Amino acid sequence: MLLSSCVIWRYRSLESFRRECPGGDPALQALIVERLDPALAWLESLGAEVVTRRTGNPRTVGVRFDPRSLTDALVRAAGRVQLGTPLPAEVGGPVVLATGGFGGELARRLGIPLRANPWSEGDGRRFAEARDAAFRGHPEEFYGRLLPDAEVGARDFVRAAQLYGRFGVLTDERGQALAQRPSWSEVELPPALVRAGGRGWLVVAADALERPVRERSVADMVAVAAELGGEVRRAPRLEELGLSELLPHPLLRRPPFTAVRVVPAVTHTIGGVAIDAKARVLRADGSPVPGLYAAGADVGGISTGGYASGLAAALVLGRVAAETVATAGGTRRAASRPAAGRDRSS
């Protein structure tokens, strides 16, 4: 959360959510649509600072918080946060898994960078699967962004994203186009580049450089890529970009042309532990694992086949898990770090 732009959002309707993420669980999607707004108000009541009440996207509604203010508010409300404290293999009360999925593990397996905290290694998933929990979704589906092929530190994860594929052409290393014009979220582009070898180019024409993407322009993002040491090529003709298989394209008509070398990066995984609408972790037969709950990116089957707010899933399902535990009369025990015992980001 600290490394994100901290926009917590939902689609305007369940129907929109279903269109955008057709493989997701309708019951979990409905929870997020129905319960996000009061959950956002709850965050404000804790003292989290609101930056804006607009998402910049007509498809969605939500709130952008200051990430440090929100983190501080949650830590104050929790009262006792133990870093570097391993979760025992056997615990005496309810456990809520909120370890951030297995993005680190997946990034290593795919051989691409991680655009997130380095501690989400799938410990929560393994803890659940050791108790017969089912997995939901595809193990290699992820939400990510294209970054310049350079050393990008955590402080630059948001601003370094090259988020303008719909205004140009994504190619492989040689210049062969990889995809048709992507969706508004461009969530398809990083996996497409993984399949093409893991390195490629975003190519745009002169008329695309001033196109707006949220509060920035395409030219602004290209400038960040150059600032961070990424390779940026400019040429008056396509054939002079040095990409042997780059062909004329309807979006590449007005010279000069700009090509940025990019790499896909994992932000968080989309597959994960199966849960029900009470945030209870489920076995393959649909029965709940006693005393075990999950929220956020540890959960699979929410945005399968598309893109949705991971922070919204964490917020709504975390509160649902707490309510389920309280209703059951148990004592809450939140595991924001997995069992391996290293510091973890919740």
Does residue 62 sit in the same domain as residue 45?
yes
- Is 277 contained in some domain? yes
CB proximity list for 169: less than 8 A, separation 6 or greater: 177, 202, 203, 204, 246, 249, 251, 252
Does residue 277 sit in the same domain as residue 251?
no
pLDDT string in tens for the chain (346-residue length) = 888 999 999 999 999 999 999 999 999 999 999 999 999 999 999 999 999 999 989 999 999 999 999 999 999 999 888 888 888 877 888 999 999 999 999 999 999 999 999 999 999 999 999 999 999 999 999 999 999 999 999 999 999 999 999 999 999 999 999 977 788 999 999 999 999 999 999 999 999 999 999 889 999 999 999 999 999 999 999 999 999 999 999 999 999 999 999 999 999 999 999 999 999 999 999 999 999 999 999 999 999 999 999 999 999 999 999 999 999 864 444 444 433 333 333 3
Tell me, what CATH number does 186's domain have? 3.90.700
Does residue 163 sit in the same domain as residue 306?
no
Output the DSSP codes for 243-306.
Answer: -TT----TT--SSSEEEEEEEEEEEEES-EE-B-TT-EEEBTTSPEEEEEEE-GGGB-SSSTTS
CA separation for the pair 42, 31 (Å, rounded): 16
- What pLDDT score was predicted for residue 91? 81
Does residue 298 sit in the same domain as residue 155?
no
Does residue 115 sit in the same domain as residue 191?
no
DSSP state of 346: -
Does residue 120 sit in the same domain as residue 159?
no
Rounded to two decimals, the pTM is 0.90
- Is 217 contained in some domain? yes
In terms of residue numbers, what domain contains 16? 7-82+93-141+270-335
Does residue 163 sit in the same domain as residue 129?
no
CA separation for the pair 116, 110 (Å, rounded): 15
Tally of domains in the chain = 2
Does residue 243 sit in the same domain as residue 280?
no
- Quick check: helix, strand or coil at residue 11? strand
CA nearest 283: which of 69, 156, 132? 132
DSSP state of 154: G
Does residue 241 sit in the same domain as residue 174?
yes
Does residue 254 sit in the same domain as residue 116?
no
CA separation for the pair 279, 296 (Å, rounded): 10
- What pLDDT score was predicted for residue 215? 85
Does residue 260 sit in the same domain as residue 156?
yes
- What pLDDT score was predicted for residue 108? 97
Strand partners, 64: 7, 52
- Quick check: helix, strand or coil at residue 195? helix
CA separation for the pair 118, 4 (Å, rounded): 14
